[in-house]
Every structure is written in structure tokens, then in C-alpha cells.
Amino acid sequence: MADDRDRYPFQPRLGRIRSRGDAAARTHVRRVLAAVGRINPRRFGAAPKSGFSGTRIGRGAGAGHVAAWRGPPRGLRGRRVVVKFHIANLAGGGGGGGAAAARLHVAYIQREGVDRDGDPGKLYGPETDAADGKAFLKRCEGDRHQFPIIVSAEDGAELTDLKAYVRQVMARMETDLDTRLDWVAVDHYDTEHPHTHIVLRGKDDRGRDLIIARDYIAHGMRAQAGEILTEELGLRTDLEIEQAMRAEVAKERLTFLDREILRETDAGVFDGRGTAEPGFARFKQTLKLGRLEKLERLGLAEALEPGRWRIDPALETTLRALGRRGDIIKTMQADLAGKGLNRPARGFAIFDGADRLAKPLVGRVAARGISDELRNRFYVVLDGVDGRTHYVELGAVADPADVRDGAVVEIRAAGTGVKPADRTIAAVAEREGGVYSDDAHQRFDKTARTEFRRAHVRRLEALRRSNLVARRPDGSWQVPEDYLARVERHEARRAARAPVQLETLSHLGLADMAGADGATWLDRVLTQDGAGTLAEAGFGAEARAALAARRAWLVREGLARDDQGETLYARGLLKTLQKRELNRVGDEMASALGKAHVIPGPGERVDGVYNRPVRLASGKYALIERGKSFSLVPWRDVLERSRGKTVSGVVRGATISWELGRQKGRGIS
């Protein structure tokens, strides 16, 4: 009898009314209730005393667990939805960087050309088709974080009302998280699959930080979105499933069939010699064998004997890379076609920002876009002077206006690791008990010049904004013992955000540069005899023609002359052109501002309020205003943190050493 009870604990048995049965049954019930309590302790009593898991922290932990156990909704017949979930930190990035990124993202999702009719995206919310983006951002002020989300239904084109679907998903999410949600969204129709960008505020209905369980982020929302889509469109038919799986056989990317093959691979060998049951299993086995033949042509599988294959250990990594390359090439072709540029695909190249030995690229921005819509990561398609067309991942861009279509830029891999200045700072601080100062640097290296020491202070100021070092009231710097290790980690994170360094050589296009009254990129190429680096095709050929036109303009202006087939340029040509442009633009701005234009000389101080950048043919300048005058001086990115604030600096050659965020004592940045 005891054996029967162990084997069938839920079998009904005679007994007294309200009897809970034997001890074994009671123990089993307690175990079930404890497991349910661990899934979602808010709904099923107090949290358990043991078995803690970080996945249970936050709202929606139960729904996420259920989704993880259940897997894809209704198996292969369920409709699939891709959900990309990001946590954006609004409190970080000093100087309001997090809030600025939030504004940029809300503006980006409403950009031109994403609506069904090619119009700008229209922001909507839970109860309105015309949400107020400024009001939403105002509510987000002071929030610690928010959640940019992308919902892309595989069969989203079949939905008659995408807004209604998104509202259903968010309503289901409110139920799972047990709180009202504050969000805005925009539907995009500019890709193969219509998708929706959602910006979810990081506060619950009580004004507390909205913390969502990791398992809900990973599984819960996607499962709910798939269930709702399946309820709306119905289960997938056999024909839809077969067509989708047949299409995967020839794809050069990681597919469902590849994952099945990898799961069934033992010791690097896939054995498909067994006979599958008639029906869908046999159909799927046939597709796997066809897929293996494709993988063999790609060099990722090797036939050992009929039905047995050796699988390349790098199959998944390689297929992911192939899929990404295919997506990039499609992006390049679409971007170039949209700009009316005809470039051969054999000349396409992908710049690897991780390759620190890669040669710098110079070229024209043919197209630009967003490579990561959640994190606002940019890319450019560069029409290179080498005659090739390059795709470059830029990562985060401080000022997207610097990356204009037609601008000439130079791109190089971002430097990573500890810099020589960091090692010097660490060595000085070690001798001085963890403190770096200008005087200590002089004692450490009596040959170090003032400007060289200032460069080290500028490095410390940059690291201070990332909380790696601290500036003391007397102007010296507190340097931690593990300074070099911290810097190395900081540089690795920075390179991940921005894998390349971009320098704008000219904001003007070639046609505008040919007759510009300023020191242009074409002038630098001419005076440095750089025409030999220009290819005979593509942008290189166009640049050669523009150089000829620029050379003729310089001759007409008396800034160059022909001497027996050789062009001789006036001494100090670049400085002359730069001065001419600054004088002209300065006079124009003086009339508009009602202030005098002052050009500071070498060694003079520049004091005033940094207003904005000004882009000229000679480069990017900063507008510094004071009482009754203003100056245009070379711009540096460090100024953007002080826009609208008072800045001070000293002219040193072609640059300015800025003194920002000064406290008592020295603090040059």
C-alpha cells in the first residue's frame, strides 16, 4: 500500500471529510507551494527562506520563470516576436549626458521616413495617438533610468493595427509587473518587418524606481508578445512552417536548423543515419541533411561517410559573422542606391575598429545611420580616397552633426590601454604618497616643460569626470594605488562605446571646397603633396578633379602661380586662408551680434561664455562671448561640457589650453 501511495500520491482515497491525507501528501503540497512562492512571492505568500536567485529581484519574476519553462509560445505553431530590451542609465554621464541621450533617442525614433507613408514617426501612448514627447521627457527628469524597447513581430505586416497590438502587449506587461506604466512609442515601417520603438519610464505608479526582473526582460515580455500575436493572427499553418524552414537551408547565417544540428552533435560529429518517424520529423531530418551540404560548401562541415558529418567547432561564431556581413552589405547597397552612387560590391570593405594596426581611412561620408537603435550607436558608409567603399561602426558619437553627408573625415582605430602619460602620473604619485601635482612632476622630471606637464593635468581632468581620480582643494590630485588598472578598464569600456576615432577634415563637400575662402582639406592635400594617395576611381577620382579646380582658384586669387608646369604656393598659404575666412565671418557675426570681433594672439588669454560651435571651411571653431566682444577660437570637445558657462584659456600656437571647472589652485583641462 505504501508503494502505491508513493507511485500515485494524487489518487483519491476514502477518508474523513476535510482530511488532508497522509504525511507524504502534505509534504508534497508544501514543496509545491514553496516552489510557487519562489517564482513570485508577492502573489503566493512570503518569500522562501532559502534558494535565493538574483533573477527573482524585481517585478515580473514569476512571469519570466513561467516563460522560461514553457519555451516558445505553442511550439513551432506559435507566432514569433523579437523583443530587444535595454536599460538606459539617465543618472550617469556627467553634464546631463544621460538626459541628453534620452532626448536624442526620443528624437531619433520620430525621424523622417519611418512612417508607412515615408513621413516622420508619430509618437503615441497608452490612450492617445498623439503623445507629447516633451512632456514625457519632463516627467523623466530626475529618473535614475528608463527602458528603450524594440518589439518586432515576425508577421507584423499582417496586423491591421500595430498600435492596438502594442497597447495590448504593454497592458499585459502592466499585469505581469503589477503596476501602471508610463510609456510612449513610435511604429516604424522602414524595414522588412514593421517594428515599434517603446520608451518606458523607469518609475512605477507610486513614483519608485521601476525594477524589472532579469528573467522577465529575457523571456517574459517576448513570450507575452508572442501569445498576443498568436491570438490575433492564429496559429501558423503547416505550409507557413515548412516554407520558413525550407528558406533556412540556403541562408548564410545562424538558423534554427543549425541550432538543432549543434544540439545533436556529439564529440564534434553529427550522425543523421537513423530513420526518423514518418511525417514532420522525417521532413525536418531531410532539411538538416540539405543544410549540412550547404555548410560543407561553406567549409563548416565535412562528410565522413553517408549520413555522418564532422562539424567545425567555430560553426556558430562563423555563421553569426557571415550573417552580420550580409546585413552590412545589404545596408551599404541600400544606402548607396538611395544617394544615387554606383559602387561595385567587390570594392566593399568593413573597417575593423578592433584592429589597432589598421591604416587610417580618409574619405567622404556617403551615408550614415543607426547600427544599434537601442543604444544610439552610429555607422557611416565611407567613400574612400582609396577607391573602395567602407562600412565603419562609429559607436557613440558626441555630436552627430559632425558626421554630415558629404563631409570629408579621417577614421582610425581608437587607442586602448594605458597611455604613457598615465604611467608618468602613477610614478609621480607613488613617490608622493598617492598625490600628483605640477610641483611633484617637476621634481620627478626636471626636463619636463610646462606644456608637457599641462597635458598630464588635462588627462587627469578627463579621468576625473569618470570618477577615476579626485582633485584636491589645493589643485593637486589624489591618485589611487590601482590607478593603472582602473585606467585600463576605463579605456576598454570607452573603446566598446566608440571603437574608432573620427576627425572631420572638412564639413564642406568637394564642390564647395573648390571655391571656399578658407583653409580647406583640398589646400592641405595640395601643400602636403598628398594627391598621390588618391585612387583613379570613385571618390579618389572626384577628389583629383576638385584639386585641379582648387589649384586654378588659388592661382586666380594670387595665392599660387604656375612655374614651368609646376604650381608654387604662397608662403603660409593655410594661415593666410584661415585668417581671411575668420576676418570675413567675424565681421558678419559682429553685425549680427552687435559686438566687436577680437582675434587673440599667441600667449593671450581667452575669457568668456562658450556659446556654441561654428563650422567654417577652415575647421570647427568655438564662439566665446563676453561683454561687448566675442572671439572665434579652435574648438575642442572638452568645451561641450561647459556650453553656456564661463571658460578661460591661453592661446598656445594653433590650440588653446582651457581651464575648466576651476577650484582653488590649479586645474587646467
What ranges do the domains of the chain cover? 2-52, 61-233, 239-313, 317-414, 420-497, 508-570, 575-659
- As to burial, measured by CB atoms within 10 angstroms (0-12 exposed, 13-18 middle, 19+ buried), residue 499 is buried
Q: What is the pLDDT of residues 278-306, one digit of tens each?
A: 777 888 888 999 999 999 999 999 999 98
Model pLDDT, residue 130: 93
The SS3 call for residue 47 is: coil
Query: How does pLDDT run across 239-250, given as a tens digit for each residue?
Result: 888 888 899 999
Q: Model confidence over 333-379: pLDDT tens digits?
A: 988 888 888 888 889 999 987 776 678 899 999 998 888 877 778 89
- Lowest mean pLDDT segment, chosen from 47-51, 359-363, 390-394, 514-518: 47-51
Query: Domain 61-233's class?
Result: alpha beta
Which top CATH class is 575-659? mainly beta
- 366 and 336 Cβ atoms separated by less than 8 Å: yes
| Three-state DSSP state, 669 | coil
Q: In which band, very low, low, confident or very high, does the pLDDT at 596 lie, cut at 50, 70 and 90?
A: very high
Query: What single-letter amino acid sits at 140?
Result: C
Residue 621: beta bridge partners? 614, 634
CA angle in degrees (0–180, nearest 5) for 513-654-477:
130
SS3 534: coil
Nearest to 638 by CA among 423, 399, 380, 400: 399
pLDDT tops 70 at residue 2: no
- pLDDT-derived band at 12 (thresholds 50, 70, 90) equals low
Task: Report the topology of domain 420-497.
Answer: Arc Repressor Mutant, subunit A (1.10.10)
Distance, in Å, from the CA atom of 375 to the CA atom of 197, rounded to the nearest integer, reads 12
Tell me whether residue 243 is exposed, middle or buried, using C-beta atoms within 10 angstroms of its C-beta: 0 to 12, 13 to 18, 19 or more: exposed
Q: Which amino acid is at 432?
A: E
Longest CA pairwise span in the chain (Å): 119
Q: Is the confidence at residue 35, as pLDDT, over 80?
A: no
Residue 426 near residue 477 (C-beta atoms within 8 A): no
Averaged pLDDT, 395-423: 83
Sign of CA dihedral 168, 169, 172, 178: negative
The pTM of this model reads: 0.74
Domain 317-414 matches domain 575-659 at the CATH topology level: yes
Output phi, psi for 387, to 5 deg.
85, 0
The CATH code for residues 317-414 is 2.40.50.140
Does residue 661 have a pLDDT over 60?
Answer: no
pLDDT attached to residue 47: 40
Nearest to 403 by CA among 354, 433, 369: 369
Place 263 in a pLDDT band, splitting at 50, 70 and 90: very high
Q: Which of 329, 326, 310 is nearest to 318 (CA)?
A: 326
Give the bridge partners for 85, in sequence order.
149
Q: Please report, rounded to a whole number, the percentage of residues in the chain having pLDDT higher than 90.
A: 52
In the chain, the N- to C-terminal Cα span, in Å, equals 85
